[in-house]
Amino acid sequence: MPCDPKLLQKLQSARELPTLPAVLIPLLRHLERPLESQDVHQIVDLIAKDESLAARCLQIANSPLFGTSREVESIQSAVVVMGLERIHQIAVSCSFLKLLPSLKDVSPSVFWAHSLGCALVAREFAGKIGFPDPGKAYAAGLLHDVGIIALLSAAPEQFATALRLARSEHMPLHEAERRELGLTHEEAGKIIAGIWHPPPEIADVIAHHHTPDRAAENHALVSVVGFSDLLCRLNGIGYGYSETRQTNFAEDPAFIGLAAQFAKFQPFDLARFTFETEGTLEEVRTVVTQVYGGVQ
């Protein structure tokens, strides 16, 4: 079906979108810099100025997913114990949490679990194949589905209908969105990225993670996140339902392109990597249970 012009108008209006946490874009900008040139004090100050963000960061830092052998009690000590990169990633995750609306039939815990799982898998996958910036893969994986947030804000009832269709037919969510809304969360994400202005690489991931072959730039990052997104969905960290589909990654264009670009990709043991991610995804469920009370 064609997209309703009124929906497009809502998506293009910043007034209809959730307010972007003030700290999120500065944190993402820091991720664009090499780790050795980042200012620790600036990042700590950014996080500490937002008391609720700092408290949530410490909650997650002390969870099994990011936890350490001793309790972390301040952002400064978190940086010392965990390292700047890790606490930076946690802060981006917590900023993203603030964007998730809570609406009838749509649980924010489901979407955060998928986004966090995708971020962690993308970071691990990037490191395995030799992608030069696993931290950026993490941020892109975390934010790849912001188009869903836009659709939830602009068309909550229509989006809920699309989600019910996807669940009943066990189909990919973006295909159900196309049928019910006339556009996908990729396309909605492209619009919202034009308003929020995230780093260009992340904007490309938001707009093309289901269609990496359409990404004119940053194809490797888009492909890394697209693969990680699919792996999470097929391993039970999706949108609250199971997808019925057969996937041969060896024949996937994104997978083939990454294999051609990165020498460390060959030989790549997909079965072993999939097995290794199971533990990570189970820890994601544990963290989301602590923060939200469970993944529905």
What are the average pLDDT values for consecutive 10-residue runs of the chain, which has 296 residues? 75 70 76 71 83 80 69 81 74 75 70 89 91 89 90 88 93 93 93 87 94 89 94 88 78 79 78 85 78 57
Q: How much is the pLDDT for 22? A: 75
Kindly report the pTM of this predicted structure: 0.84
CA distance 289 to 296: 10
pLDDT for 16 equals 63
Instruction: Mark out the alpha helices in the chain (DSSP H runs).
Output: 5-11, 24-31, 40-48, 51-61, 75-82, 84-97, 108-129, 134-143, 146-154, 156-169, 173-181, 185-196, 200-208, 219-234, 253-261, 270-292
Confidence (pLDDT) at 190 = 92
Q: Work out the angle at residue 198's Cα, subtended by the Cα atoms of residues 218 and 171, and round it to the nearest 5 degrees.
A: 70
Question: Which tokens belong to 100?
Answer: 């998730």
Which residues fall within 8 angstroms of residue 236, CB to CB, at 6 or more apart?
A: 242, 281
The predicted structure's pLDDT at residue 94: 76
CATH of range 5-18+103-292; options 1.10.3210.10, 1.10.490.10, 1.10.10.10, 3.30.70.2660: 1.10.3210.10
- What stretch(es) of the chain map to CATH 1.10.3210.10? 5-18+103-292
> CA-to-CA distance for 11 and 25, rounded, in angstroms?
20
SS in 3 state form for 61-98?
A: HCCCCCCCCCCCCCHHHHHHHHCHHHHHHHHHHHHHHC
- Say what the pLDDT of residue 203 is: 94
Report in angstroms the alpha-carbon separations of 248 from 46, 234, 251, 255.
Answer: 43, 12, 6, 10
Yes or no: say if 163 and 239 are a contact pair by the CB < 8 Å rule: yes
Report pLDDT for 165: 94
Distance CA 20, CA 149 (A): 11
Give the integer Cα–Cα distance in Å for 168 and 152. 19
Q: What is the DSSP letter of 37?
A: G
Q: Is the peptide bond before 172 cis (omega within 30 degrees of 0)?
A: no
Predicted local confidence at residue 104, as pLDDT: 60
